[in-house]
């Protein structure tokens, strides 16, 4: 157990940077997922990405290692796109 704690203690200073990099990479990859036939987005990332500037009124605290997202059903997203197009026209 002592060996494990020593190993953890050695990596602890680098842990926040590694978690931020992994979270940013994961959120970026999720945001790139598209439906094959339509090319429409299949995922919307809701979390603030580490390193991104905070929006107005948002605290400047860290984001941690959590990625929150919505998965879109291709039919629902397509219907939303059609309704939006009809409203513009």
The number of distinct structural domains making up the chain is 1
Residue that wins the pLDDT comparison between 2 and 49? 2
Residue-by-residue DSSP string for 14-61? GHHHHHHHHHHHHHHHHHT-B-TTT--BSEEE-SPPTTSPPPTT----
Query: Measured between alpha carbons, how far is 43 from 30 in angstroms, rounded to an integer?
Result: 6
DSSP single-letter state for residue 71: E
Q: Give kind and range of the element (H or E) at residue 10.
A: helix 2-11
pLDDT digits (tens, 9 = 90+) for 5-58: 888 888 888 888 888 888 889 989 998 999 888 888 888 888 877 666 666 665
Q: 49: domain range?
A: 2-88
How distant is the alpha carbon of residue 1 from its chain centre? 35
Q: In degrees, to the nearest 5, what angle opens at C-alpha 62 toward C-alphas 13 and 54?
A: 140
Please give the pLDDT value at position 30. 92
Query: Measured between alpha carbons, how far is 28 from 61 in angstroms, rounded to an integer?
Result: 20
Please give the pLDDT value at position 32. 92
């Amino acid at each position: 157990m002592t060996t494990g704690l020593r190993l953890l203690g050695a990596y602890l200073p680098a842990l926040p940077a590694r978690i931020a990099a992994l979270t940013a990479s994961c959120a970026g990859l999720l945001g790139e997922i598209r439906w094959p036939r339509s090319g429409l987005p299949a995922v919307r990332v809701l979390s603030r990405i580490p390193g991104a500037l905070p929006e107005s009124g948002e605290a400047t605290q860290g984001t941690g290692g959590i990625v929150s997202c919505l998965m879109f059903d291709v039919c629902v997203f397509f219907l939303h796109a059609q309704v939006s197009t009809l409203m513009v026209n």
